[in-house]
Amino acid sequence: MKKIYTLIATLLILKSSFAQTTFTVHVSNFQFNPATVNAVVGDKIKWVWDNGFHTTTSTSVPTGATTWDAPLQTTGASFTYTLSVAGSYSYECTVHPTQMQGTITVTGALPVVLSSFGISPAKTNGALVAWSTATEQNTDHFEIMRSTDDKNFTKISSVSAAGNSSSIHNYSFTDDAVPSYAHFVYYYLSVVDKDGKKSSSNIKMFDNINSKPKLIVSLSPNPISRPGHLMLQFNAEKEGSMHVQLFNSSGKLVKEDNMSAVVGLNNGHFHVGDVPAGVYTIIFSMDNLKESYRVVVQ
């Protein structure tokens, strides 16, 4: 009887590991957020319009996968795509191809069943990456991957795996080298089997409480050529909008806008337009943060 209960529990775990996941990608502010998704065959990607005039259009898909081209331009618009083939998918917004790009990495079923995976503040200044496996098959080790922009990931360490197991195993790694400038940091696990094959877990975001509160991460270009656009990255602690105001050298408000924000690192695009050449002050406000910068329009 005990063996029967064990078999039933194992089947339930395996069944849950093959359940489809739908990943939501927000489309707004000249960005796909998240811009990088790790998934397994059978999962779905759902793009949801927040604002702007955009598309989600495939630029590269694995052999055997279907391409897509869907407009996302009105309230309530969305598009869902089922990932039926393993491999790397790339896509863009055809209206803003240089600013809006995304990638999806799809693998077969993981050689492990992850019962948990999360990131939390470490006792020291850093991040505690912790995960548990319910089962493992031919697993060699785990690689911890980290990014500060949710696009470019680097391996920061590896942890040996149990190999073959049907019991719970707990793992952890303390990242003591979290960049102090990064308010949001992104992690995933690369699972490597004994044959050298790799598969990837979902991406998790870590709120680095030890970083200095900062709204604007980057602004470019500066100087700006007319008619121009100011590209920016900004942090958001919660969903909402960031208010942007552009003042001339006399202190007169000449332009303003609101940028939608999701939790994490956001990309923005401010239309400076054909304002007269000169030195301007641009002010960003969101929640309790307000920051001002000088920009030059040529």
pLDDT at 264: 94
**Residue whose structure tokens are 């065959």:** 41
Predicted pLDDT of residue 44:
97
Q: pLDDT by residue (tens digit) across 55-108?
A: 999 999 999 999 999 999 988 899 999 999 999 999 999 998 988 999 999 998
Domains, the chain: 19-108 (2.60.40.420), 111-211 (2.60.40.10), 216-297 (2.60.40.1930)
In the prediction, which pLDDT does 15 show? 37
Name the pLDDT band for 5 (thresholds 50, 70, 90): very low
Q: What is the DSSP string of 160-221?
A: E--SSBSS-EEEEEEETT--TT-SEEEEEEEEEETTS-EEE---EEEE-TTSPP-SEEEEE-
Mean pLDDT along residues 260-288: 93
CA dist., res. 89 & res. 189, Å (int): 19
pLDDT in tens, 168-216: 999 999 999 999 899 999 999 999 999 888 999 999 999 998 898 899 9
pLDDT over 90, % of the chain: 76
Does the structure show a pLDDT above 70 at 12? no
Query: What is the number of alpha carbons within 13 Å of residue 26 lying toward its C-beta?
Result: 16
pLDDT of residue 104: 97
Average per-residue pLDDT in the chain?
90
pLDDT higher than threshold 80 for residue 288: yes
Residue 119 pLDDT exceeds 50: yes
Token reading at 27? 């489309």
Question: Confidence class of residue 30 from pLDDT cuts 50, 70 and 90?
Answer: confident
Q: Is the pLDDT of residue 133 over 90?
A: yes
Average pLDDT of the residues in 117-136: 93
Question: Mean pLDDT, to the nearest integer, of 135-140?
Answer: 93
Q: How confident is the model at residue 227 (pLDDT cuts 50, 70, 90)?
A: confident
CA distance 231 to 36: 19
Distance separating alpha carbons of residues 248 and 281, to the nearest angstrom: 6
Strands 278-286 and 289-297: antiparallel
Q: Given this model, what pLDDT does residue 19 score?
A: 59
**pLDDT (tens digit per residue) in 140-155:** 999 999 999 998 999 9
